[in-house]
Amino acid sequence: MPRPYLLEISVESVEAAMAAERGGARRIELCSSARVGGTTSEDDLMRAARERVSLPIYSMVRPRDGSFFYTESEFEAMRRDVDAAKEYGMDGVVLGLLGADGKVDVERTRELVERSRPLPVTFHRAFDECGNLRGALEDVIKTGATRLLTSGGKRTAPEALDLIGELVRIAGERLIVMPGSGLHAGNIREAVVKMGAREYHAGLSSVVTDPAVDLGKFEAEVRRMAEALRDCD
């Protein structure tokens, strides 16, 4: 029997993480600067989130916004951020590195995957910057990452339903392909049917402009999406 669908919600604050938990999310992605794709959270935020949220929390490891090609000093910062995630009780990390050629940096990503153990690693949407997504999928698998967050190379996942469905099928049991970006209660059913993934990621920025301003609406939208996913089982 297939495992239940899993909803991961991306947040920037402890309050939003708690609202997502109340709303029925099953995992939290914790980051800062979500509007630019997310960067590493401060230590105090990780500590506070761990104290107040019982859900699994995956912490973003990204030293800055912009490109995913990192200098050696930035890579060293990522090493330290992985260590901090483990120190503060995170359940996984989210990261992604590309080479100067725009392809997945298999070697350095694999080093961070190994450093993260026993925590699982999600390779984030740096993947969507790659020109050949099918080839990039094989590279992500080579890194040892557990899952891949992708919008199928488009701005939002609903724009790439068929391609993401193909990536899900190609990956099979080798890698969890988790669609994300632009998903909400109103389109998640179609996404499930067309993509066939078992895990889905959302920040819900398309329906809640600022969770910090309207936590009640944010929690309600998480609940709507979680209920829609449960209806798909």
Structure confidence by residue, pLDDT tens digits, 79-124: 999 999 999 999 999 999 999 999 999 999 999 999 999 999 999 9
What is the predicted pLDDT for the residue at 1?
A: 55
Report the CATH number of the 6-232 domain.
3.20.20.380
Residue 139 · residue 163 · CB < 8 Å: no
CA pair distance 176, 131, nearest whole angstrom: 21
- Where do the structural domains in the chain lie, given as residue ranges? 6-232
Average pLDDT per 10 consecutive residues for the chain, totaling 233 residues? 88 96 98 90 96 98 96 98 98 97 97 98 97 97 98 97 98 98 96 97 89 88 96 87
Residue 62 · residue 95 · CB < 8 Å: yes
pTM, two decimals, is: 0.96
